[in-house]
Amino acid sequence: MTYDTAIPAAAALLKRDTAISQPAFDGRMYIGGTWVESADERRFERRSPAHGHVVSTFPEATAADVERAIEAADAAFRRGPWPKLKGAERARMLLAVADGIKKRVEPMSLLESLETGKPLAQARGEVSGCVDLWLYAASLARTTSGDAYDTLGEDMLGIVLRQPIGVVGLITPWNFPLWILSQKLPFALAAGCTCVVKPSELTSGTTVMLMEILEEAGVPAGAVNVVTGKGPSVGQPLAEHDAIDMLSFTGSTRVGSLLGGLASAKLKKVALELGGKNPQIVFPDCDWDAMIDAVVFGVYFNAGECCNSGSRVLVHESIAERFALDVVERARQVPVGDPLHPDCKVGAIVSENQLGEILGNVEKGVAAGARLRLGGKRYDAQGLYLEPTIISDVRPDMSIAREEIFGPVLVIIPFSDASHAIEIANDTAYGLSAAVWSKDIDTCLTVARGVDAGTVWVNTFLDGYPELPFGGFKSSGVGRELGKQAVEDYTETKTIQLHIGARNNWWLPRPAA
């Protein structure tokens, strides 16, 4: 399937659910329950990185628009009704949103694929997967609770309430736009918070589409607001504004650290999901075929534009050459190209800028003495494609072994034994995830306990469930998303102490003589 034949189909699918004009999805901002243009009516466009066509346009928010969105969220929090609703009522609306996403899997996946460059088939999996995140959050809206202490003595009862923290600013990146938003928004809403969302300017489409679903589901005006535009002008106020109580950010470690610093200086709560340089650690006794498949999947899924990308493989030195030959052979066969083609596994890189960064990293590695075994160049001049790339003979001190590349680039580093593998694994600033491949339980547990990582996969890679917390050690982030604490993270506790019976006076004045 080529883009020329796909785009009419794409536009038709988009048209079915939204008022758009071909070929673009013309999104608007959603502020205080109203669909609005920016105050100065300026718009920006997004071109498909695979095909170069304009696929969507959005208002470029001004400072006044951002202010209005924050005010709307603040008013919706202070006056309600959202924070004051019963958990059951919030849950009902979150369930309705899940249902709405389910009904729009096709148009949302299509827009996500066209804006990001990711394979349409993969986008379908992600959008469908978001349904479960909203369902899980709905279950927590009814079950998250405080605590009570009946152990404080005859005259005292302690009650700990969990109250929504307030207005939350959500800033999301371009690599998994709807998925990452769905790791945050339904949980903040389940807690009773109100939100202002700023999606990446490259991929605002499904965030805006989601607002249509929220509106239909009956989520009250002002509970969620979306502002579109550039990071520094539109995102930064969400870290600094006095009316914002919490910032939840996913993106680069550089921007996360900047925004986290600004928000912390104003004593706001901060949650950060940042980058990774995630090692898969391979021992000679592993299930070889399963491991090779997981390594190829781990690094080329989403073209490697994935915080959890398995971008470093640490291989026992006795099998390093066999591993390199086999992984090159398998990687050569991965279908790269038009994301709309049903067989595509690796689509386009999100932007020319990102593509340049990736190639620059590869060049740096080769200049430092590493060996390019596969790829390392553009795949097709028509779109922003990169060949799956493999680099061996990498030393742990090289920049390609330590810095996040965020592209389809695998680096292979040999190790001598488990403690050496753990030492190399931990020798970066990051600590998001890791995997260990071995049939020996002692080896698996030793590595799993030893690596600095928020998630460790044993004989598997990249699985995820709403029930399991996700987040990073060290420079990979602050806090965790998902898991049974996901809603609690958007709350404050309030301690209430109730005295029972007569007071034991501190001091009684003596009766007058």
Supply the residues annotated as catalytic.
273, 307
Q: Which is nearer to ligand NDP, 14 or 478 (CB)?
A: 478
Tell me whether residue 194 or residue 207 sits nearer to ligand NDP (CB atom): 207
The answer, yes or no, to whether the previous bond of 81 is cis (omega within 30 of 0) is yes
Sequence-distant (6+) residues with CB within 8 A of 384 are 49, 50, 117, 348, 349, 350, 351, 352, 355, 378
472 burial (CB, 10 Å; 0-12 / 13-18 / 19+) is buried
**251 lies in the binding site for ligand NDP (CB under 6 A):** yes
CB atoms within 10 A of CB 42: 12
Stretch that binds ligand NDP, among 3-11, 14-22, 116-124, 230-238 (CB under 6 A): 230-238
Q: Residue 62 Cβ, how far from ligand NDP at the closest point, in Å?
A: 15
Q: How far is CA 368 from CA 101, 310, 387, 417, 430, in A?
A: 47, 22, 21, 25, 22
* Residue type (1 letter), 474: K
User: Is the CB of 141 or the CB of 355 nearer to ligand NDP?
Assistant: 355
Q: How far apart are CA 83 and CA 81, in angstroms?
A: 6
> Would you give the binding string for ligand NDP spanning residues 465-484, x where CB under 6 A is met?
------------x-------
For residue 130, what are the contacts with CB-CB under 8 A and spacing of at least 6? 101, 178, 179, 182
- Applying CB under 6 A, which of residues 48, 57, 206, 236 lies at the interface with ligand NDP? 236
Closest separation in Å from C-beta 87 to ligand NDP: 27
Q: Phi and psi for 330 in degrees, rounded to 5?
A: -70, -40
Choose, by CB under 6 A, the member of 173, 279, 347, 450 that binds ligand NDP: 173
Identify which of 215, 278, 272, 280 has the alpha carbon closest to the alpha carbon of residue 444: 280
By CB under 6 A, name the one of 106, 201, 393, 403 that touches ligand NDP: 201
Tell me, by CB under 6 A, how many residues bind ligand NDP.
29
235 binds ligand NDP per the rule CB under 6 A: yes
Question: Which of 72, 171, 226, 292 is close enough to bind ligand NDP by CB under 6 A?
Answer: 171
Burial of 512 (0-12, 13-18, 19+ CB in 10 A): exposed
Query: Is there binding between residue 275 and ligand NDP (CB under 6 A)?
Result: yes
Q: Measured from the CB of residue 201, what is the shortest distance to ligand NDP in angstroms? A: 3
Task: For ligand NDP, give the closer residue by CB, 198 or 312.
Answer: 198
Cα pseudo-dihedral 280, 286, 290, 295, rounded to 10: 20
In the complex, the residues that contact ligand NDP under the rule CB under 6 A are 171-175, 180, 198, 200-202, 230-232, 235-236, 250-252, 255, 258-259, 273-275, 307, 404, 406, 432, 477
